[in-house]
Structure 1
């Protein structure tokens, strides 16, 4: 929520003049100087007379105010339902928003008691200094509480009385442990404690029978207690980057678990208990030092997402092809040189990421993945693509950047289903003169090549929204046919400094400036060339 408001803080009040400095009491000065105003506070709000808020910033009334009277004038008898305040403020919440249901406060050292806001259901505090203590909160109504980066070292004991609380997020604080008060929250369903310097999880955590999500990413736990396995309703568990070397033996009994994130820990091999999770649908073991995948991985028939980036797998075993429900497989930078022969049998696979491996020749088995929609083979030392790739009729996104093609593979220009194509960093000197198939393309990235001219078929891509040409330092011209590209919203020519028409100084300002150049040129108007400052380039 901190991005919802301008970054600049409120300006301090102006210094009093010489005559006012003689007054010893600042309050007297404030009363007698009609021009005095407190620092303005950024406020966003919605009231009961407006349509239901969909969560978009432009649906809020946002203004800089000095006191609550400036807000009341807008309400017309309605009650504020959503309130967002950034910066130190002197607003009286019970007066201006007695029935507020959603309240967000950020970037302040001032916070008063909120316990009289008995309709409050969601409270968010960002960068609010709570090191000296918490404000009282409404214990009966609050359902969601977020306290992010607020210098919290301990939680108040009365927090355990909040029996309606369903979601608690305490990221980036200095708690050291999971406080006992949290274990008394009988209705809590989601608990997030990212980077809270937690070293220990209390055994009483196992009593939280309503907990569905537990995310304690980025702490220093080392040992996961058996108490976690007693969370019978848990569906999502993230213990990524916690210096864990071993998982509890009874983890395999957690039949409700659907998502497990153990990325960034020290395993070397897939823990056996993980393969016993028969209901697991998503597994992330990125950057764990894993050297091989076990045969028992094939038992995980419910698995839909498997993330294994930055491991040392080398050889992908045939057992991976037995994961009949797998839809997304990510294995970038795993030192893989060969894919299993039966990979073409993975009929459910929609996304495959094998970037940063060492293939040189694209495995033919990929052409048998008829349901594949996303393929990332960037930085794989590939020099050519197999002709049979044109059989992949479902392919919508293809990333073959950072390979060594020089000439665009013929298959690419024949793929009628492609919507996103990345061929950056490929050493391409020339694009094919003719292409009639890429009519579904929405994004084309061909930056960091040696292209000198764009063929006319590019200007006929009616659905193209993004065209990235950056660092084609030999590119000389963009045709006026760009005016016909009605869907194009982004044309990036950064560092295409050889451009003569339009001049580079125009092109680096983007698609709007380029269009205006050609419109003025067609109307025989003098073209205004704007010198762009070096700092903006």
Structure 2
């Protein structure tokens, strides 16, 4: 038997886990844009009972990218992948909910965690030690009931991308997010966010914001969102909105706006001022009755999606299959006929 304490522990207490990895001796993996996962390798993860098999496989190389499915006690990451930069963790049913083992991954810059239970054992303090993180994804995790418990995210001053997707969670807006002023991409969905503090306006570097499936108070988008004038992409899908604030017209850099499955009755007038819009999505607004001919002002608009807007009278809803081309033709022909009349 070897003298290595790690290997002794492995022999006496084998803990099977699932793994996929890429090491430094293999071809580089292209960097992906934010919110894209490293690669869809979950189906390629294989059971591992003894991590020495991995160490033998990589030889003198080191692991840079790894996906781990934790089925019991977490594997010894300090030995397996101390230099990992991209790590995805699936917390399988019945696994130890603690994720303190990531503390040993000092070079990690992209961390994805799925299905962790942060309510039973509290939100981990270990996040405060991962100060090299640039991207953090907490997806389908059970979060604490109080947003104040996420305070361990505060030291992540280099964080550019943050994604928190709730799992039957009513946590509300975690105000610690407002302190992460280097964020460029923010995804907060299914968190039961009803209001936003004015401190949210400090996120001046945000270019992409996803707020889908939150229901704001009084069916209105908080006006503080209109302070984020660098936004290029805004997703407000299923937010139960009936209108947009007049100051929404300040978001002049917007190129992609998604208002799918809300309760709009008309296309909010501020939208017609967003002359950099390339893609506008409003499908599933069942009460939407009309667009204004001012939509012709959106000269850069290439995509207009409005399927399942069953109350739409002008333009006719059956033009949805033609998109913006059909809508423009409708208004041009309508104006021409009025001139003739």
TM-score by length of 1: 0.48
**1:327 CA displacement:** 1.1
DSSP-derived class of the 1:377 partner: helix
Match of 1:240 in 2: 189
Structure 2 residue runs without a partner (length 5+): 1-17, 31-43, 334-341
* Residue 99 (structure 2) aligned to one of 155, 172, 175: 155
Aligned residues of 2:226 and 2:251 also touching (Cα < 8 A): yes
**1:133 CA displacement:** 4.0
* Residue 179 (structure 1) aligned to one of 121, 124, 134: 124
* Alignment of 1:125 onto 2:83: no
Question: Is the alpha carbon distance of 1:185 and 1:336 closer, same or farther for their aligned partners in structure 2, counting shifts above 3 Å?
Answer: same
Distance in structure 1 (CA, Å) of the matches to 2:128 and 2:22: 34
Distance in structure 2 (CA, Å) of the matches to 1:47 and 1:190: 21
**1:288 CA displacement:** 1.2
Question: Is the alpha carbon distance of 1:187 and 1:54 closer, same or farther for their aligned partners in structure 2, counting shifts above 3 Å?
Answer: closer
Say which is worse superposed, 136-145 or 180-189, in terms of deviation: 136-145
> Which has the greater radius of gyration?
1
Q: Deviations over 1:199-253 (max 9, x none)?
A: 2443232221110111111242533233211102111111111111112221112
Equivalence map 1:63-462=2 (5 Å): 86-88=46-48, 92-100=53-61, 119-126=62-69, 128-130=70-72, 132-138=73-79, 140-150=82-92, 151-156=95-100, 159-176=102-119, 177-199=122-144, 200=147, 201-219=149-167, 220-267=169-216, 268-334=219-285, 335-358=287-310, 363=315, 377=320, 388=329
**1:162 CA displacement:** 2.9
Distance in structure 2 (CA, Å) of the matches to 1:319 and 1:208: 35
Question: Is the alpha carbon distance of 1:159 and 1:44 closer, same or farther for their aligned partners in structure 2, counting shifts above 3 Å?
Answer: closer
Distance in structure 1 (CA, Å) of the matches to 2:164 and 2:138: 5
Aligned CA RMSD, in angstroms, stands at 3.4
DSSP-derived class of the 1:194 partner: strand
Aligned residues of 2:140 and 2:165 also touching (Cα < 8 A): yes
Aligned residues of 1:293 and 1:313 also touching (Cα < 8 A): no
Aligned residues of 1:235 and 1:257 also touching (Cα < 8 A): yes
Distance in structure 1 (CA, Å) of the matches to 2:282 and 2:57: 54
- How many residue pairs match? The answer is 288
Match of 2:339 in 1: none
Q: Which has the higher helix share?
A: 2
Task: Select the structure with the greater relative contact order (CA < 8 A; seq sep ≥ 6).
Answer: 2
TM-score by length of 2: 0.74
